[in-house]
Chains A and B, each alone.
Chain A
């Protein structure tokens, strides 16, 4: 069984979901950090919002890492945490949380993989494609954190 039901993880792809808009300053940190990241068996998806159909790919993955920017201090700080499936009660579908996508995948397809949320604190979210200096500096750390999780977590 996988971490939350279903068959074993061996042989399944790893999925990294980079969240955010590259047109809103530090919100584009995830896509900037993960551009060009290539690891064997890894799929990187860049999305602006988590939608229900992502549940299928999430449920099929060996491990899923959601990567996002968050408003907070100190700018540039990178944090990672484990994620568990959790349903939501809102009527809005444009703003599913990572935990809700996991819950949806488990409910619909019987499986929720090992999952993580990696975030970087951002300070500037106005219009523009430029990252703040602190976030720009943190990109290698963000990328390394994601790569390490993909390599270690859920490996056969």
Chain B
């Protein structure tokens, strides 16, 4: 078998390798996205008090620590068996939206915009943030500003931007101050303008990306996301919904605590990343996608005015669900618009400054699940404890893992379109990477491993011989 290997994959979070397998006539037979990091956070947690879990698990990732912090706090709420005060729920929701905004801004503006603005096959020396700011300084500035707005929400609530020890078992540590509210509120009009401007630019730019739209992970799968009341776009607390490629609801109203009844986790020898699938459809037929694209495909409406307008336009991209993973970018921008609008709504809530933010209770259950929508998709924290509240078992089901089957398919689809011959061309390498980047994978989270994500690409022949290898990091 002939093989192409891309290692390491760049501008994603973590380390990975891509192998492209060629057949005897040189055509692409298969492609695999290998996740080569391993850290095993689930094992580290055993023996610790469950009350430490929000702080411990938020260390899994420097990009989305807030998602882990809040999902973990929710799992702890379940162990306490408490319904936390409404103001605490609203504040957690607020911080989760700040996290969504800053993470999506990082993904779109800093990681993917160089490809989108400068071109997939442009000079790799310039295809970075500095190249972007030389070509489109406004987009580079907008990205920095929007990321800062999201981080300010986190900082105002949690006291710092990264790893705030703020969400706790039973609520949150501190309420929102009037000054804090004023600070966040002041930044929202500009943020709304900047997201709107970027979305307008990107929709116009889509005309130049028809080929990417066609082959960057464009295939039928299921989609899964949490939805709120009436099917509203939801990120903090709701029921799970599965939608088919045709856009039909396959399963609805699933309590996230019962995720194991619906989601299986397969393992493959070539990757540390698990391969979750929808159990009723089996493995691998039960492949599903999560994240911004899945959330927009699953929800009935967004629930804020401008995001609803954009959602209506988004729906025109396809008859059923929007299948091209390239539209993760579009969905990400629409979600940023939603986040800014929703943050504004929450700030005007009469309870938002309440100091009733903590329920107190002792452990009442031995098992608890916390779930929410992290920027990259649905995140589950599942804990078991023994008397005394000491952790005996943890399972973390992470968004990137749930996109694993789809990412592998996307790599194969892109390789079939662009790989030609036994030599890895730079443009082809970047296209494969960009296809992965559209999913915004975070391998630090999904294998619970540390570090940035360099990538290796290998091209292998029919007998396994190595034709070419490119390493970047």
A residues lining the B interface (CB < 8 Å): 48-49, 52-53, 55-56, 87-95, 100, 103-104, 107-109
Q: Contacting chain A: which of B66-74, B121-129, B399-407?
A: B121-129
Is the Cβ of B144 less than 8 Å from the Cβ of A103? no
Which of B111, B148, B454 is close to A53, meaning CB atoms less than 8 Å apart? B148
Which of A49, A91, A100, A109 is close to B62, meaning CB atoms less than 8 Å apart? A49
A88 in contact with B144 given A104-B133, A108-B133 (CB within 8 Å)? no
Is the Cβ of B151 less than 8 Å from the Cβ of A92? no
Select from chain B the residue with minimum beta-carbon distance to A57. Answer: B148
B368-409 interface (Cβ within 8 A of A): none
A62 to B127, CA, bound (A): 31
Interface string of B455-469 (1 = CB under 8 A from A): 000000000000000
A94 in contact with B140 given A88-B130, A104-B130 (CB within 8 Å)? no
A94 to B111, CA, bound (A): 11
Which of A48, A90, A108 is close to B128, meaning CB atoms less than 8 Å apart? A90
Is the Cβ of B151 less than 8 Å from the Cβ of A53? yes
Query: Does B186 lie at the interface of the complex (its beta carbon under 8 Å from any beta carbon of A)?
Result: no
Is the Cβ of A48 less than 8 Å from the Cβ of B62? yes
A89 in contact with B125 given A49-B62, A95-B452, A107-B130 (CB within 8 Å)? yes
A104 — which chain B residues lie within 8 A by C-beta? 129-130, 133
Query: Does B353 lie at the interface of the complex (its beta carbon under 8 Å from any beta carbon of A)?
Result: no
Which of B111, B127, B133 is close to A93, meaning CB atoms less than 8 Å apart? B111
Select from chain A the residue with minimum beta-carbon distance to B59. Answer: A23
User: Which of B62, B137, B452, B472 counts the most A-chain CB atoms under 10 A from its CB?
Assistant: B452
B140 — which chain A residues lie within 8 A by C-beta? 108
Given contacts A93-B106, A94-B62, A108-B133, 8 further A-B contacts (CB under 8 A): A52-B129, A52-B144, A56-B145, A89-B130, A91-B114, A93-B11, A95-B452, A108-B144
B residues lining the A interface (CB < 8 Å): 10-11, 62, 106, 110-111, 114, 125, 127-130, 133-134, 137, 140-141, 143-145, 147-148, 151, 162, 452, 454, 472-473
Is the Cβ of B144 less than 8 Å from the Cβ of A56? yes
Select from chain A the residue with minimum beta-carbon distance to B430. Answer: A91
A23 to chain B, nearest CB (A): 9
Q: Is the interface of B mostly helix, strand, loop or mixed?
A: helix
Is the Cβ of B133 less than 8 Å from the Cβ of A91? no
Which of A52, A55, A94, A109 is close to B452, meaning CB atoms less than 8 Å apart? A94
Is the Cβ of A91 less than 8 Å from the Cβ of B128? yes
User: Which of A55, A56, A91, A103 counts the most B-chain CB atoms under 10 A from its CB?
Assistant: A91
A92 — which chain B residues lie within 8 A by C-beta? 10-11, 452, 454, 473
B7 to chain A, nearest CB (A): 14
A48 — which chain B residues lie within 8 A by C-beta? 62, 162
Supply 16 A–B pairs (Cβ within 8 Å), ascending by A. A48-B62, A52-B143, A52-B144, A53-B144, A53-B151, A56-B144, A88-B128, A89-B125, A91-B128, A92-B454, A93-B106, A93-B129, A94-B62, A95-B452, A107-B130, A108-B144
A107 — which chain B residues lie within 8 A by C-beta? 130, 133-134, 137
A100 — which chain B residues lie within 8 A by C-beta? 130
A53 to B134, CA, bound (A): 17
Select from chain A the residue with minimum beta-carbon distance to B451. Answer: A94
Which of A88, A89, A108 is close to B141, meaning CB atoms less than 8 Å apart? A108
A92 to chain B, nearest CB (A): 5
Select from chain B the residue with minimum beta-carbon distance to A56. Answer: B144
Is the Cβ of A91 less than 8 Å from the Cβ of B472? yes
A56 to B129, CA, bound (A): 15
A33 to B134, CA, bound (A): 37
A68 to B79, CA, bound (A): 42
Is the Cβ of A103 less than 8 Å from the Cβ of B452? no
B472 — which chain A residues lie within 8 A by C-beta? 91
B109 to chain A, nearest CB (A): 9
A26 to B314, CA, bound (A): 51
B454 — which chain A residues lie within 8 A by C-beta? 92
Is the Cβ of A108 less than 8 Å from the Cβ of B148? no
Listed from nearest, the 10 A-B pairs whose CB atoms lie closest are A91-B10, A87-B130, A91-B11, A53-B148, A53-B144, A107-B133, A94-B452, A89-B125, A53-B147, A93-B110
A108 — which chain B residues lie within 8 A by C-beta? 133, 137, 140-141, 144
Select from chain A the residue with minimum beta-carbon distance to B11. Answer: A91
B147 — which chain A residues lie within 8 A by C-beta? 52-53
Select from chain A the residue with minimum beta-carbon distance to B137. Answer: A108
B130 — which chain A residues lie within 8 A by C-beta? 87-89, 100, 103-104, 107
B127 — which chain A residues lie within 8 A by C-beta? 91
A103 — which chain B residues lie within 8 A by C-beta? 130
A93 to B454, CA, bound (A): 12
Select from chain B the residue with minimum beta-carbon distance to A49. Answer: B62
Select from chain B the residue with minimum beta-carbon distance to A88. Answer: B130
B119 to chain A, nearest CB (A): 15
Is the Cβ of B137 less than 8 Å from the Cβ of A55? no
A92 to B125, CA, bound (A): 12
A52 — which chain B residues lie within 8 A by C-beta? 110, 129, 143-144, 147
A94 — which chain B residues lie within 8 A by C-beta? 62, 452
B112 to chain A, nearest CB (A): 11
A109 to chain B, nearest CB (A): 8
B11 to chain A, nearest CB (A): 5
A93 — which chain B residues lie within 8 A by C-beta? 11, 106, 110-111, 129
User: Which of B140, B144, B147, B452 counts the most A-chain CB atoms under 10 A from its CB?
Assistant: B144
